[in-house]
Homo-oligomer: A and B are copies of this chain.
Amino acid sequence: MKIEPKLATGFRDYLPDEARTRENMLGKIKEQFALAGFAPLETPGLEKEEVLTGGDPNFKKQLFRAGLPGMAEKLALRFDLTVPLARVVAAYASEMQKPFKRYQIGQVWRGERPQAGRFREFMQCDADIVGAPGVLADAEIVNLIYRVMQALGFRNFLIRLNDRKLLNGLAVYAGFPVKKMPQVLRAIDKLDKLGWGEVKKELADKSGAALGQASLEAIKRFLEIEKDNKAATLAELKKLFAGSDEAQKGADELLEIMKALKALGVPDKFWTLDLSVARGLDYYTGAVFETVLPEALSLGSVMSGGRYDGLIGRFGSVSIPATGVSVGLDRLFAAMKSLNMAGDGASAGVMVLNFDETATETCLTLLSDIRDTGVPAEIYLGAEKTLKGQLAYALKRNCPIAVIIGGEEMKKKMAQVKDLRRRDQKAVPIAEVPAYIQVLLQQ
């Protein structure tokens, strides 16, 4: 039976050129996570279904169920890395030191309708601090975002900050019931994409928040508040929301984060207060943040997170404060490609050709010597017997350098070192080839 080599609908591969760039990105991200004192955690892709759904029979997320024939235990594929973190925090509570700072990088699965650029399996890359009640922890997360973006080579990005407590104050100020807050937040969240006209329509619509004229005007005033000076914005807000203790607290939190970011050396131009940032998820309780690329705004936020003090305690009897960020690796990768930051794919190794049997052992020893200098290298292993054919392969593979040793070279103890980038060639004593290649690659 002939089977088609097809991917399942909504899934994708990353071939070597792309996978190498992603691998490099992950390396830099992990380095920043480690520098900031986050340690890795590994949990399985498959969990008990009830752990993922919280036992909710009406659980809305599209879970992939999984199992073996005749298996009684109900399993499903994780849809994020936060619920597994909550499970870990509860399961190992006695041996775990809190604050617990972990990062986790792994695949998650969501059965959403496949669309262009949206997949049913993707990589998540999260850093969270569990058991840290103060806003200093939130500032550390924003600092981490700044450092990760820098490490990835981005020089033009903007971290947008808000506080959910401030948004809750909005309900009091604009005079609508708090239970309408989710609809209002969802509408406000679209200000960037749709503009005030559309947002207003959605806020007024009967199928939405169904707000009256007074509330709509109050929300507009709120969204139009002074934005050029962060301290001034917060002072204005405190006045506007004088009736809400919660909003006062939210503004004070943002002021404290502002001071901490300054002390941490995060330049002012890389972050801003943005009162339209709500983040879709209902579980945020304090500071929320997202990161956009002015040159690629349509990608949406490439790194987002916030404080979520209710979620981590879901398996226990006590509430546990937590804050964290999720790096949107796929979006960042897309951004790097569209901004030509993804590298030239030329990180393939030196290719030692292998067309003359009398030279094979000399070539192998040289191969080892090149690798010992830390330079990636390979020997041609295909079926092509001619120098020309092997050279064509090295070119197609984007190898920067080819080394040629045949019978003639063996006699003279010389190798031809060919710079495939500059189409240059030089005869070099075989023993000196590794050092010569190191110099060549630094040019």
Contacts and interface: CB of A to CB of B under 8 A. Distances in A.
Contacts of A43: 13
Contacts of A88: 5, 13, 15
Interface centre among A3, A136, A265 (most CB of B within 10 A): A3
Interface in A86-144: 86-88, 90-92, 97-99, 101-102, 107, 109, 111, 120-121, 129, 131-134, 136-137, 139-140, 143
Nearest to A17: B39
B41 A15 contact: yes
A401 B7 CA distance: 50
Given A23-B40, A51-B6, A68-B62, A98 B382 contact: yes
A362 B263 CA distance: 7
A35 interface: yes
Interface string A342-375: 0000001100001000001110110110010011
Contact of A374 (B3, B35, B265): B35
A37 B348 contact: yes
Contacts of A376: 34-37
Contacts of A147: 371
A244 B319 CA distance: 73
Interface in A10-45: 11-17, 19-20, 22-23, 30, 34-37, 39-45
B37 A129 contact: no
B13 A364 contact: no
A264 interface: yes
Interface residues of A, number: 112
A381 B54 contact: no
A251 B285 CA distance: 70
A30 B24 CA distance: 11
Contacts of A99: 380-382
Contact of A136 (B75, B98, B102, B360): B360
A178 interface: no
Contacts of A63: 68
A315 B4 CA distance: 7
B68 A66 contact: no
B20 A39 contact: yes
Nearest to A147: B371
B264 A367 contact: yes
A378 interface: yes
A48 interface: yes
B46 A109 contact: yes
Nearest to A321: B383
12 contacts: A5-B88, A7-B47, A19-B41, A36-B378, A39-B348, A46-B121, A65-B67, A97-B393, A132-B382, A260-B364, A263-B364, A263-B368
Interface of A: 1-9, 11-17, 19-20, 22-23, 30, 34-37, 39-48, 50-51, 54-56, 62-69, 71, 73, 75, 77, 86-88, 90-92, 97-99, 101-102, 107, 109, 111, 120-121, 129, 131-134, 136-137, 139-140, 143, 147, 259-260, 262-265, 314-316, 348-349, 354, 360-362, 364-365, 367-368, 371, 374-383, 393, 396-397
Top 9 closest pairs, chain A to chain B, by CB: A37-B378, A16-B39, A5-B90, A132-B381, A263-B364, A263-B361, A14-B42, A66-B66, A5-B315
